[in-house]
């Protein structure tokens, strides 16, 4: 029992290898040892422990891990154990209670019934009508978390931004406001739709509720063999990108930051163009698409911008960056690279690049057409759409690069929101003010955990099939207790036994 | 190849030939028994053909068979026969026919779509499909096939430039609601699916199209009025139709119409009209007749807009636009002589 591991709570599209620690919603694993592995725990020696101190300690631990997100928290599970589980649980005692140190170091036999686990209930957070789940991804100024609408039960992605952070980025707030305004007007299958915007003025936070997507093309490419898509898959996504761009054009919107990192997929493999932070909307009566600013990603910028032109044709920028994107889809590399941004822009400005031979002449012609140095020689969107490579049918003769899913989620269908919902349901009294209710950490013994999952099974509640089996339930049966009875107060005897 | 009932099915040529024979019998009419037999056989053949098209075991073989099947369909002129006799086929058979048509239409070899090319040379197929809206029992089937055709630019071009396009102004107002909505869906697809083609068409046939369109906006049917007004707004605000928009908003009659629609009883129509009306006001180069109308109604418009849909407080975009319009109208000044 003693080799249970703790796992950091951080999650995300890219860096989450371990399943989030959930007490009763892990799917399909029958082994109870595995069950315990996923729990943050602290081993408590009943005689030495100052009860209050321990409770405090665990609370601090819980708060810390809930607050901590992102790649810097990405310990692998072993590190997580030795670096956090043990040190956080033991060190304070060894420092504060030096006299008991020797006693603590001696190995004592601890009955597994006395091992106290912190089941780390997911603290449910509710914003507007949405129950918030785990982190999906993180950008320079925003976090994206999974969320679920309380009544509609629709999965959403919620982009959380802090005004304080935005202020530090040039044009940060302005860009967000622009994005909100733009997205509000757009509605197309291939454009990420904005469901609603919520504000928390006290915390200075802005929440964009967006369509839920399960994958980013860039992540798929990164994980793919030779970092590229099979021809047919590239064709499939590129066609959708063109549909989206064509719609944007009809709405006079220039995206200005087309790249695989801004192209998402939903569970039905529909491509969604997202991130309109640097996009620009032309005036209804603008005679042409001349614009004067661009803040896109350097690798995807056209020569006219690399050369520092004052004004340029807007839609041709999107054509160029879509060309670079297409090049990246089929070759796994970029047409222009450079160690520094100056080198990169120098290379872009000369506009000389190689197209690998496996690409074939038809596609090479399209890529060269889209990456023509002079904007006026560059293909228009309509020309791209009527290009032979776009029009032709490519049979899927190679296996697809799969959407990268979280490790515990085979179909992209399981939701990280479930444990949080579990938290809400397990509370004795649920009030709107969830802040106050989540203050006391839940301490559970392995014994009680088994009972808990047993009850979850018994109660059904729609998730019973996914709930872990109950093995090794020891002690007297207590079927009359429901899951929500588990709380600290009950475990006092456990601590002191 | 095995058919769905386990017995070996006929070759594509045989199926097509049998179908053609059955259809000819049906078309001729007369002898009841013979008709019945043909009906029955036709349903069977349609199922056989569907099996060939949709449910085959190996890719390689089906590709060859598909090529053969569609080639025979062109040779026997089966598509036009099928469509012009669609009303004589039983209910399930109609659905099978639609599926077969759509599948054959989508067939692609490299960049070529042979059936689309074939239909381009036989525009009577498209005419027959359009006329399908006049026959209640096949209207929706024909609508489904038409919208499949509209996916292809070349067919859209033919449809837009045929006289049949103007029949749609009639079809969208028929009394049967589902047919009218289906026709409107096709009408909208025609004008929005291939933006460049549609923009060229609207520009070239501006007067004719918008004279007809005006009738939709004046329709007695609330649904027609609302749908067509919404589509108009969408068309005018689409960047592809820039020159169509500038032309539309320089005609004072259009402005008057929109101002009247702003005062309609239905709030939804008022709201849609607002989105067209705003374009007239936002235009930086308002022609004199437009400016005159706006100036004449300056005070009234400001007062009207200030009270216009004040309960939409959550719709920021609408409120911004409204505030902008009010300011624009307040600032209007006659052109110095």
Q: How far apart are CA A312 and CA A304, in angstroms?
A: 7
Compare all CA atoms of chain B with the CA of A380 and give the residue at the minimum distance: B196
pLDDT band at residue A22 under the 50/70/90 scheme = very low
pLDDT value for A350: 92
β-sheet with A215-216: strand ranges across: A215-216, A263-265, A271-273
Residues of A taking part in catalysis: 257
Residue with tokens 């170091």: A105
CA-based R_g, chain B, Å: 26
Q: β-pairing, A142-149 with A126-127?
A: unpaired
Interface contact flag, B108 A392, Cβ < 8 Å: yes
Render pLDDT for A29-57 as a digit per residue (tens, 0 to 9): 344 444 434 433 333 343 444 444 444 44
Over 60: is that where the pLDDT of A476 sits?
Answer: no
Strand runs labelled E in A425-478: 443-445
Q: Taking 90 as the threshold, does the pLDDT of residue A376 lie above it?
A: yes
Give the span between the Cα atoms of B241 and A28, in whole angstroms: 56
- CB contacts of B276 in chain A (<8 Å) are none
Partners of residue B316 in chain A, C-beta under 8 Å: 181, 184
Given a cut of 90, whether residue A467 has pLDDT beyond it is no
Q: What's phi and psi for A119, nearest 5 deg?
A: -75, 0
CA-nearest residue to B320 within chain A is A181
Q: Which of A120-129, A315-324, B56-65, B172-181 has the lowest mean pLDDT?
A: B56-65
Q: What is the pLDDT of residues B43-82, one digit of tens each?
A: 999 988 888 888 755 544 567 888 889 999 999 999 999 9
Q: What is the band of A110 on the pLDDT scale with cuts at 50, 70, 90?
A: low
| Chain segment A138-191, per-residue pLDDT in tens | 877 788 888 989 888 889 999 999 988 888 888 888 888 888 989 988 999 999
Of B239, B282, B317, the CB nearest to A249: B239
Is the confidence at residue A400, as pLDDT, over 70?
Answer: yes
> What pLDDT shows up at residue B322?
94
In the sheet that holds A155-162, the strands lie side by side as A126-127, A130-138, A142-149, A155-162, A205-211, A194-200
Q: How far is A241 from chain B (nearest CA, A)?
A: 16
pLDDT range class, residue A441, cuts 50, 70, 90: very low
**For range A341-356, the mean pLDDT:** 93
Write down the pLDDT at residue B182. 96
A123 marked ligand binding residue = no
Q: When comparing pLDDT for A19 and A490, which is higher?
A: A19
Q: Please give the pLDDT value at position A128.
A: 87
Q: pTM of the prediction? A: 0.72
- Look at residues A403, A404, A421 and name the one whose alpha carbon lies nearest to residue A134: A421
Per CB-CB distance under 8 Å, the chain A contacts of B109 are 393
CB contact under 8 A, A250 and B284: no
Q: What is the ipTM of this complex?
A: 0.84
Residue extents of the structural domains in chain A: 26-104, 215-404
What are the C-alpha distances in Å from A75 to residues A69, A72, B27?
A: 11, 8, 76
* Angle value at C-alpha A245, between B324 and A230, nearest 5 degrees: 160
* Chain A residues with beta carbon closer than 8 angstroms to that of B279: 284
* Of residues A250, A284, A393, nearest to B279 (C-beta): A284
Give the A-side interface with B, CB within 8 Å.
181, 184-185, 246, 249-252, 282, 284-285, 382, 388, 391-393
Taking any CB pair shorter than 8 Å as contact, residues of chain B touching chain A are 108-111, 195-196, 237-240, 279, 282-285, 316-317
Q: What is the least distance, in Å, from the CA of A382 to any CA of chain B? A: 8
Cα distances (angstroms) measured from residue A382 to each of A314, A387, B35: 15, 9, 50
Closest Cβ–Cβ partner in A252, A382, A393 for B239: A252
Number of C-beta neighbours around residue B10 at 10 A = 17
Residue A407: closest CA among A23, A134, A148, A160: A134
DSSP assignment letter at A402: P
- Residue B168, pLDDT score: 96
CB contact under 8 A, A285 and B284: yes
The pLDDT assigned to A97 comes to 46
Residues 6+ apart with CB under 8 A from B33: none
- pLDDT at position A456 is 46
pLDDT at residue A84 in the model? 38
CB contact under 8 A, A246 and B195: yes
Partner-chain residue, chosen from A184, A246, A388, that has the shortest CB–CB distance to B111: A388
Q: A252 in the Ramachandran plot: left (φ > 0), alpha (ψ -120 to 50) or beta?
A: left
CB neighbour list of residue A100: distance below 8 Å, 6 or more residues apart? A48, A93
**In percent, how much of chain A has pLDDT > 90?**
35
Nearest CA in chain A to B195: A250
Which residues of chain B lie closer than 8 angstroms to A382, CB-CB? Answer: 196
A483 pLDDT more than 70: no
Compute the nearest-CA separation of A377 from chain B (Å): 20
Distance CA B332, CA B298 (A): 8
Please identify every stretch of chain B with a pLDDT value under 70, giving residue numbers as ranges: 1-9, 56-62, 336-337
Cα distance between residue A398 and residue A393, in whole Å: 14
- Nearest-by-CA chain B residue for A285: B283
Q: pLDDT class for A424, splitting at 50, 70, 90?
A: confident
Name the more confident of A127 and A20: A127
Predicted local distance difference test score (pLDDT) of residue A134: 84
pLDDT band at A272 (very low <50, low <70, confident <90, very high): very high
* CB contacts, 8 Å: A235 with chain B: none
Closest CA to A217 of A330, A380, A132, A295: A330
Q: How far is B126 from chain A (nearest CA, A)?
A: 23
Architecture of the domain whose range is A215-404: Orthogonal Bundle (1.10)
What's phi and psi for A475, nearest 5 deg?
A: 75, -175
Query: Which positions in chain B touch A318 (Cβ < 8 Å)?
Result: none
CB neighbours of B260 closer than 8 A, spacing ≥ 6?
none
- Reply yes or no on whether the pLDDT at A66 is more than 50: no
Question: Which of A250, A284, A391 minimises the CB distance to B282?
Answer: A284
Are residues A250 and B195, on separate chains, in Cβ contact within 8 Å? yes
Residue A426 Cα distances to A192, A307, A429, angstroms: 35, 61, 9
For A217-269, what is each residue's pLDDT tens digit?
Answer: 999 999 998 999 999 999 999 999 999 999 999 999 999 999 999 999 988 89
Could you tell me whether strands A253-254 and A194-200 are parallel, antiparallel, or unpaired per DSSP bridges? Answer: unpaired
For residue B314, how many other CB atoms are within 10 A of its CB? 8
**Confidence at residue A474, expressed as pLDDT on a 0 to 100 scale:** 37
CB contact under 8 A, B108 and A393: yes
Tell me which of A125 and A484 has the higher pLDDT: A125
Q: What local confidence, expressed as pLDDT, does residue A273 receive?
A: 96
Q: Are A251 and B284 inside 8 Å of each other by CB?
A: no
pLDDT at A166: 87
**Cα of A461 to nearest chain B Cα, Å:** 37
- The whole-angstrom separation of Cα A128 and Cα A114 is 41
Give the pLDDT mean for A369-390: 95
**What are the Cα distances from residue B143, in Å, to A60, B135, B156, B172?**
65, 11, 14, 12
């Amino acid at each position: 029992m003693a080799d249970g591991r703790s796992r950091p709570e951080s999650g995300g599209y890219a860096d989450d290898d371990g399943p989030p620690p959930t007490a009763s919603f892990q799917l399909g694993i029958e082994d109870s040892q595995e069950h315990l592995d996923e729990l943050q725990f602290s081993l408590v020696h009943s005689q030495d422990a100052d009860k209050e101190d321990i409770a405090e300690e665990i609370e601090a631990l819980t708060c810390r891990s809930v607050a901590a997100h992102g790649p810097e928290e990405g310990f692998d599970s072993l590190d997580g154990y030795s670096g956090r589980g043990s040190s956080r649980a033991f060190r304070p005692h060894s420092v504060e209670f030096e006299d008991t140190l020797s006693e603590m170091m001696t190995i004592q036999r601890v009955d597994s019934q006395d091992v106290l686990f912190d089941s780390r209930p997911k603290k449910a957070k509710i914003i507007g009508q949405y129950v918030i789940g785990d982190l999906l991804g993180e950008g320079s100024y925003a976090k994206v978390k999974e969320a679920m609408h309380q009544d509609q039960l629709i999965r959403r992605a919620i982009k959380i931004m802090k005004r304080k952070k935005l202020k530090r980025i040039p044009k940060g707030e302005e860009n967000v406001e622009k994005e909100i305004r733009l997205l509000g007007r757009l509605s197309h299958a291939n454009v990420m739709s904005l469901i609603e915007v919520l504000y928390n003025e006290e915390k200075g936070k802005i929440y964009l509720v967006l369509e839920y997507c399960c994958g980013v093309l860039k992540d798929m490419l990164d994980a793919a063999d030779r970092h590229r898509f099979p021809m047919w898959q590239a064709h499939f996504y590129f066609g959708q990108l063109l549909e989206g761009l064509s719609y944007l054009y009809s709405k006079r919107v220039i995206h200005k930051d087309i790249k695989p990192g801004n192209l998402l997929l939903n569970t039905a493999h529909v491509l969604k163009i997202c991130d309109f932070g640097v996009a620009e909307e032309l005036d209804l009566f603008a005679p042409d698409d001349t614009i004067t600013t661009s803040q896109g990603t350097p690798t995807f910028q056209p020569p006219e911008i690399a050369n520092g032109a004052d004004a340029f044709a807007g839609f041709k920028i999107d054509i160029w960056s879509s060309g670079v994107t297409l090049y990246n889809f089929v070759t796994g590399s970029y047409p222009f690279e450079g160690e520094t941004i100056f080198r990169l822009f120098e290379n872009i400005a000369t506009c000389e690049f190689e197209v690998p031979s496996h690409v074939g002449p038809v596609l090479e012609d399209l890529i060269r057409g889209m990456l023509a140095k002079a904007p006026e020689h560059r293909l228009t969107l309509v020309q791209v759409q009527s290009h032979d490579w776009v029009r032709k049918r490519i049979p899927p003769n190679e296996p697809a690069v799969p959407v990268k899913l979280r490790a515990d989620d085979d179909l992209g269908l399981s939701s990280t929101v479930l444990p949080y919902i579990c938290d809400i349901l397990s509370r004795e009294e649920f009030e709107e003010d969830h802040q106050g209710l989540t203050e006391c950490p839940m301490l559970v013994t392995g014994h009680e955990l088994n009972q808990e999952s047993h009850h979850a099974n018994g109660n059904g509640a729609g998730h019973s099939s996914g709930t872990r089996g109950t093995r090794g339930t020891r002690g007297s049966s207590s079927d009359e207790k429901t899951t929500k009875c588990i709380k600290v107060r009950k475990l006092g005897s456990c601590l002191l036994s | 190849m095995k058919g769905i009932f386990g017995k070996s099915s006929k070759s594509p040529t045989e199926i097509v030939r049998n179908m053609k024979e059955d259809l000819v019998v049906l078309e001729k009419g007369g002898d009841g028994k013979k008709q019945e037999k043909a009906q029955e056989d036709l349903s069977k053949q349609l199922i056989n053909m569907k099996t060939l098209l949709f449910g085959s075991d190996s890719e390689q073989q089906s590709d060859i068979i598909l090529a053969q099947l569609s080639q025979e369909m062109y040779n026997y002129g089966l598509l036009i026969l099928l469509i012009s006799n669609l009303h004589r086929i039983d209910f399930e058979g109609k659905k099978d026919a639609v599926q077969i048509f759509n599948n054959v239409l989508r067939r692609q070899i490299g960049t070529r779509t042979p059936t689309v090319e074939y239909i381009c040379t036989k525009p009577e197929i498209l005419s027959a499909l359009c006329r399908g809206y006049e026959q209640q029992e096949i209207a929706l089937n024909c609508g489904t096939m038409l919208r499949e055709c509209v996916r292809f630019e070349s067919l859209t071009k033919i449809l837009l430039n045929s006289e049949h396009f103007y029949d749609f102004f009639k079809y969208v107002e028929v009394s049967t609601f589902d047919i009218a909505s289906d026709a409107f869906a096709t009408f909208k697809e025609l004008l929005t699916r291939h933006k460049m083609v549609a923009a060229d068409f609207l520009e070239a046939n501006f007067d004719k199209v918008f004279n007809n369109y005006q009738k939709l906006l004046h329709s007695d049917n609330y649904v027609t009025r609302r749908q067509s007004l919404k589509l108009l707004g969408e068309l005018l605000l689409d960047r592809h139709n820039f020159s169509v928009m500038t032309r539309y908003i320089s005609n004072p009659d259009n402005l008057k119409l929109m101002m009247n629609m702003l005062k309609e009883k239905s709030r939804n129509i008022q709201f849609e009209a607002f989105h067209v009306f705003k374009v007239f006001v936002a235009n930086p180069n308002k022609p004199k007749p437009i400016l005159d109308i706006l100036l004449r109604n300056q005070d009234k418009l400001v007062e009207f807009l200030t009270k216009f849909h004040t309960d939409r407080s959550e719709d920021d975009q609408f409120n911004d636009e409204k505030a902008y319009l009010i300011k624009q109208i307040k600032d209007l000044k006659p052109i110095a002589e």
